[in-house]
Every structure is written in structure tokens, then in C-alpha cells.
Amino acid sequence: MLEKSYREAARTPLPAGAIAVGTGFFIAPDKVMTSAHVIAGCDTIIVENGRLEPASARVAAQDRRRDAAVLKVQAVAPSVLSLGEDSGRGALRILGYGVGETGRMPADMREAARLKGSPPGALAVSARVSAGFSGAPILEAGGRVIGILSGRLNEGEGRDQADIIASPVAGLSAALRGHADARGQKQGAAEGAVVKVSCQ
């Protein structure tokens, strides 16, 4: 199911001069995690946020089956997020950049709720998100990332409300998780760790 998001993005090449937009988050001083479909077919990748000037990035590792990727960034993170397993309880939030939002502003924060009966190997939540949130971190109350937003399962009530599918970080390969290094880094400032990812 998660691989479907990647396959659909990879089948649709960007027209010349077009820019695709998604979200990512620092997991180490120079590494950003995002959804693999956000950077599918990119020649140029740029990350930025309100505390980070636009910086170039390249793919360091990816798992298309889990729709996850790690980017090596030519900049130092303002702050990083730590990865963790889903406790199954408590409030969730998603931070991301919608299409048309400038990366110079802080990421938009949305509340989310777990859905019962998540598909095997996935995390399903309900939230009001817009295009551009792919790759956004899903955080538990303590600030740990438990999932990476991949796409919509279906439309819910209201214009932006949807049931969302995410890749649980606990299910990512050791090759991807091995890039995470929050030791000794400034943590807890999620807004500084979340970036807009632009792909050309």
C-alpha cells in the first residue's frame, strides 16, 4: 500500500520547469527524512524552513516499498527530531508545508487522531492536511516521530479532512534508521527541524 504512493509519483514525470513540493524533517545534523515519492524523479532537491536558508540535498538512502527516503543536506540542522515506536495512546500532531506555502515560514501544525484497523505495516490517522504534507512527521505528545505521512486513504468530511496512511518509523529498514543521530543535538523544537522539500 505504501509503495503505491511511490509508484504513482514515479510514473508521472515532472514537466520541464515544474516544481513538486513536500515536507521532510531533520533526523541528524545533515540528514532529512521524507517520503520517497516526494523526491521521485528529481534532478534538484532543495530544503528550507524559517530558520534555514535554502540548501541543496541529495538522496542518501531510500526504501520505495515503505515510501521513505533520507536526504544528505548541505547545511546544519537548526534542530533534529528523534524517531520512536508508536505507544498507541495520546494526542498526535503533524507538521508540514502545504503547496503554495513559503518555506521561510514555520511549518503548519495539524492535530491528528489514530484510526482503528490500520492496514498491515502502516499507520492510519485522520487529520486536516493539504497537498504538500507528504513526508511530514507524525509526532506523539513527547515530540518523537512515529510515522512519515505517505498519502490519503480516502477523503473525510470537510475540504481537507482525510484518512491518511503513514509509514511507521519502527518498520523502516535499519539502513534508513541508521542515518538518525539526535545525540547531542538540539531537540524539542519541531518547527526548526521540519523543512519544505522542493523537487525539480
5, 30, 35, 37: the catalytic one is 37
Our answer to whether residue 37 is catalytic in this structure is: yes
Neighbours of 29 (CB within 10 A): 17
Our answer to whether residue 179 is catalytic in this structure is: no
Helix, strand, coil proportions of the chain in percent (round to 5)?
15, 40, 45
Query: What is the bridge-based pairing of β-strands 137-140 and 123-128?
Result: unpaired
5, 35, 134, 198: the catalytic one is 134
Quick one: cell of 24?
Answer: 521532510
Our answer to whether residue 134 is catalytic in this structure is: yes
63, 67, 86, 108: the catalytic one is 67
Catalytic residues: 37, 67, 134
